[in-house]
């Protein structure tokens, strides 16, 4: 890893939330995920956690060309779709670059996708509003 890459990874990791232990991190981050998903469901009750619903979420999020849903909610929703539809499980991991700093993601076998920072959606090169669905297809069976 180059010095620059190490610097970027360390800077990213330091910005993650810090906890004194793995159990504390798991409890807090799972609670954060659950709150974000509940908030998203209250805004958009039509989401059913299927892969096709990722298209609905993206269309809603990019309504009028402006991101109207927080990126962390989008990331958590994508993670939940992986868990419910593709056999992934939620994991909380400590950063190897900043001990005591943790992030949450989903994992299945050798594939782990971290969703802590969410997903940034754009209309650029995304006319069909299917970038989340395409990402799901890349890692789902």
Confidence of residue 34 (pLDDT cuts 50, 70, 90): very high
Please give the Cα distance from 66 to 16 (Å, whole number).
26
More confident residue, 58 or 136: 136
In sequence order, the 6+-apart residues with CB closer than 8 A to the CB of 19 are: 25, 28, 100, 102
Mean pLDDT of 113-134: 78
pLDDT, residue 127, reads 65
Question: What is the distance, to the nearest Å, from the Cα of residue 13 to the centroid of all Cα atoms in its chain?
Answer: 15
Indicate the number of domains in the chain. 1
- Domain containing 15: what range? 3-139
DSSP state, 94? E
Tell me the three state secondary structure of residue 117. Answer: coil
pLDDT, tens digit, for every residue of 58-103?
Answer: 888 877 555 678 889 999 999 999 999 999 999 999 999 999 999 9
Confirm if 57 and 44 have CB atoms less than 8 A apart: yes
More confident residue, 25 or 120: 25
Question: What is the distance, to the nearest Å, from the Cα of residue 103 to the centroid of all Cα atoms in its chain?
Answer: 10
22 φ, ψ (degrees, to nearest 5):
-60, -45
- Give 79's Cβ-side CA count (13 Å radius): 28
Average pLDDT along the chain: 89
pLDDT of 128 > 90? The answer is no
């Amino acid at each position: 890893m180059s010095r620059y890459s190490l610097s970027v990874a360390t800077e990213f990791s330091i910005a993650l939330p810090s906890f004194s232990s793995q159990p504390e991190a798991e409890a807090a981050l799972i609670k954060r995920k659950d709150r974000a998903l509940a908030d998203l469901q209250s805004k958009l009750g039509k989401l059913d956690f299927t892969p096709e619903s990722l298209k609905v979420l993206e269309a809603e999020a990019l309504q009028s060309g402006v991101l109207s849903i927080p990126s962390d909610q989008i990331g958590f929703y994508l993670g939940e779709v992986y868990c419910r539809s593709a056999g992934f499980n939620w994991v909380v991991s400590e950063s190897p670059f900043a001990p005591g700093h943790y992030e949450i993601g989903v994992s299945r076998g050798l594939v782990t996708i971290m969703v802590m920072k969410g997903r940034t959606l754009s209309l650029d090169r995304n006319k069909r509003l299917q970038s989340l669905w395409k990402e799901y297809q890349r890692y789902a069976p």
